[in-house]
């Protein structure tokens, strides 16, 4: 596909996005679970019109994300933050359907400010599933949610719901099932008193081959057991495989290996790869005999997308597409080195491609002071 848009740019494909959304619709229908999009993972509101046909609302990690969800998505708005200020609580309580506190101390301090919103508290069951220590919510000294059962008993009279966010890219249904059984045993006394429960995000139910019907049964059984409305807060599972970062080769150098430098940067435009020390995905690579390291053009020595094999030699101007560039990617883009920020394009369901945002020098200037 050739389009006349200058690289670099993110290309969101609504047809690929729709594949994930149809899985969500199936789970909603067959389990009764509600779904709210985790804006911390993906907040490109240019495709919200499509997503909101399949999801019930949004959930946030800050005041600004909550505001974005209310303004651009417009369905249920869940407001969560690791630590609110008083002013932020006053603001989110005016428009949010649910305000979820991270600690009992914040709940005690601010619950009286909430008017018209359901109040929830995050609990940390002390178990989790994560491939990375950095994302392990149950790691030692975790500040994410209340650990104490005694606190749960104290908080029960002040809340109508609870959040248990303990997964990160969990594609193991048996692990999820056993962890839910553990939560049921540990917090059963509390769950029976609540109206709603969020199991957070991080469940990889849109992965190819995931046992969706068994997943639906587990969710439905949990909801029925405690007579609660169940919520999930997916991010990656909504948008996985739906976007590419499209770049061009701007130089090729040699230092014991051929190195192709593209007009984008891992540090600035796919930061999660650098944080978790992963290589970028190139669908058409690793099938040839021509080996290249693909590098970004920032001054950071470790600005490397990965090493790949191509069927033909790379040349200046060659288009390189990095796959799976939506989740925790677009939300983390930054102006490091003052590099040109990738534009945002959307391939609509009808096949047309729309340039929805082009960043310019004034955007760089306005990000500074």
Same-domain status, 280 and 353: yes
In a domain, 182, yes or no: yes
Give the three-state DSSP class for 163: strand
Q: CB-based burial of residue 153 (10 Å sphere; 0-12 exposed, 13-18 middle, 19+ buried)?
A: exposed
Q: How far is CA 153 from CA 142, 150, 161, 191, 355, in A?
A: 20, 5, 13, 11, 52
In a domain, 17, yes or no: no
Query: Of 222, 239, 256, at which residue does a domain stop?
Result: 239
pLDDT, averaged across the chain: 96
CATH number at residue 224: 3.20.20.10
pLDDT in tens, 254-277: 999 999 999 999 999 999 999 999
Same-domain status, 43 and 186: yes
Same-domain status, 90 and 176: yes
Same-domain status, 112 and 145: yes
Mean pLDDT of 107-128: 96
Q: How far is CA 345 from CA 9, 11, 65, 268, in A?
A: 7, 5, 21, 18
Query: Of 239, 274, 302, at which residue does a domain stop?
Result: 239
pLDDT in tens, 39-69: 999 999 999 999 999 999 999 999 999 999 9
Same-domain status, 230 and 272: no
pTM of the model: 0.95
Same-domain status, 303 and 194: no
Query: Of 188, 218, 239, at which residue does a domain stop?
Result: 239
Same-domain status, 263 and 205: no
In a domain, 8, yes or no: no
Phi-psi region of 202 (alpha: psi -120 to 50; beta: other; left: phi over 0): left
Residue 286 scores a pLDDT above 80: no
Same-domain status, 117 and 137: yes
CATH number at residue 292: 2.40.37.10
pLDDT above 90 as % of the chain? 96
Same-domain status, 186 and 302: no
Same-domain status, 315 and 296: yes
- Residue-range definition of the domain harbouring residue 260: 243-325+333-366
Q: Report the distance separating Cα 25 and Cα 54, nearest Å.
A: 6
In a domain, 225, yes or no: yes
In a domain, 4, yes or no: no
User: How much is the pLDDT for 212?
Assistant: 98
Same-domain status, 277 and 169: no
Same-domain status, 64 and 131: yes
pLDDT in tens, 299-333: 999 999 999 999 999 999 999 999 999 999 999 99
pLDDT in tens, 12-27: 999 999 999 999 999 9
């Amino acid at each position: 596909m050739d389009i006349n848009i200058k690289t670099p740019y993110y290309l969101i494909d609504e047809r690929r996005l729709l594949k994930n959304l149809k899985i969500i619709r199936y789970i909603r229908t067959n389990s009764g679970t509600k779904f709210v999009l985790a804006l911390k993972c993906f907040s490109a509101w240019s495709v919200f019109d499509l997503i909101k046909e399949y999801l019930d609302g949004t959930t946030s990690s800050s005041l600004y994300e909550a505001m974005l969800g209310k303004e651009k998505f417009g369905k249920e708005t869940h407001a969560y933050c690791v630590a609110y200020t008083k002013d932020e609580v006053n603001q989110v309580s005016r428009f949010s359907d649910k305000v979820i506190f991270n600690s009992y101390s914040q709940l005690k301090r601010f619950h009286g400010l909430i008017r018209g919103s359901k109040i929830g508290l995050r609990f940390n069951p002390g178990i989790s599933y994560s491939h990375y220590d950095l994302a392990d919510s149950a790691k030692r000294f975790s500040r994410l949610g209340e650990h104490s059962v005694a606190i749960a008993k104290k908080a029960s009279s002040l809340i109508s719901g609870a959040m248990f966010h303990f997964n990160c890219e969990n594609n193991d249904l048996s692990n999820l099932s056993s962890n839910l059984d553990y939560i049921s045993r540990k917090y059963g006394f509390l769950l029976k008193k609540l109206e709603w429960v969020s199991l957070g995000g991080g469940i990889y139910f849109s992965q190819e081959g995931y046992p969706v019907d068994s997943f639906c049964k587990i969710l439905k059984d949990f909801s029925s057991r405690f007579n609660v409305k169940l919520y999930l807060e997916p991010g990656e599972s909504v948008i996985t495989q739906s976007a590419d970062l499209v770049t061009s080769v701007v130089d090729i150098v040699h230092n014991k290996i051929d190195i192709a430098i593209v007009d984008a940067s891992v540090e600035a435009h796919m930061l999660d790869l650098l944080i978790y020390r992963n290589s970028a995905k190139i669908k058409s690579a690793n099938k040839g005999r021509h080996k290249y390291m693909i590098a970004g053009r920032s001054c950071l020595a470790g600005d490397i997308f990965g090493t790949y094999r191509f069927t033909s030699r790379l040349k200046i101007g060659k288009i390189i597409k990095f796959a799976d560039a939506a989740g925790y990617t677009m939300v983390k883009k930054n102006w490091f080195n003052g590099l040109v920020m990738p534009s945002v394009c959307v391939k609509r369901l009808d096949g047309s491609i729309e340039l929805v945002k082009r960043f310019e020098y004034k955007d760089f200037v306005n990000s500074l002071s």
